[in-house]
Amino acid sequence: MSKKGVLMVNLGSPDSTDPKDVKRYLDEFLMDPRVIDVPRWARILLVRGIILNTRPKKSAEAYSKIWWEEGSPLIVLSERLQAKVQNHLNIPVALAMRYGSMTIKDGMQQLVDQGVDEVLVIPLYPQ
């Protein structure tokens, strides 16, 4: 008999408001061909040639204005939602992010480690 689990997936967030963390996050996010739908060479030129040389510092400042003491608001709220869902279910519930360090691979591994072999994936973003 299979053991079911739930993987809740949200968009993601930088690890901190440090410009280096924001740059790493923006690179992963913006280099996704589903985010910027242009040929790879153009995406590299745009993202790595222009955006990542100007935007991380400005974005880090913007993140600093909304960042909570506990961390990224998106991560914190997603973790709270995961905990509430887990409290209502008798199966494992894991959380992952499409971009950033809370990877889908790690979320799946958490479920596998709990014996899950059938996963319901619930995207938490509207796209």
pLDDT digits (tens, 9 = 90+) for 60-102: 999 999 999 999 999 999 999 999 999 999 999 999 999 999 9
Looking at the structure, do residues 85 and 113 belong to the same domain, yes or no? yes
Q: Supply the pLDDT for residue 127.
A: 63
Do 122 and 100 lie in one domain? The reply is yes
CA angle 31, 32, 34 (to 5 degrees): 135
Higher pLDDT, 126 or 46: 46
CATH code of 118's domain = 3.40.50.1400
Same domain for 75 and 106? Answer: yes
As a whole number, mean pLDDT of residues 1-30 equals: 96
Residue 15: the pLDDT is: 97
Based on the fold, state whether residues 25 and 1 are members of the same structural domain: no
Span 23-67, pLDDT tens digits = 999 999 999 999 999 999 999 999 999 999 999 999 999 999 999
- In 3D space, the residue among 16, 104, 28 whose CA is nearest the CA of residue 60 turns out to be 16
Residue 1's pLDDT is 76
Structurally, the chain folds into a number of domains equal to 2
Give the 3-state secondary structure of residue 119: strand
Asked if 8 and 40 sit in the same domain, the reply is no
DSSP H helices in the chain: 19-30, 40-46, 52-66, 73-88, 104-113
Boundaries of domain holding 62 = 18-66
Q: Which pLDDT band, with edges at 50, 70 and 90, does 125 fall under?
A: confident
32 and 10 in a single domain? The answer is: no
Residues 77 and 107 in one domain: yes
Report the pLDDT value the prediction gives residue 7, as an integer from 0 to 100: 98
Q: Indicate the residue type of 59.
A: S
Name the token pair of 22.
């924001």
Instruction: Give me the pLDDT at residue 107, please.
Output: 98
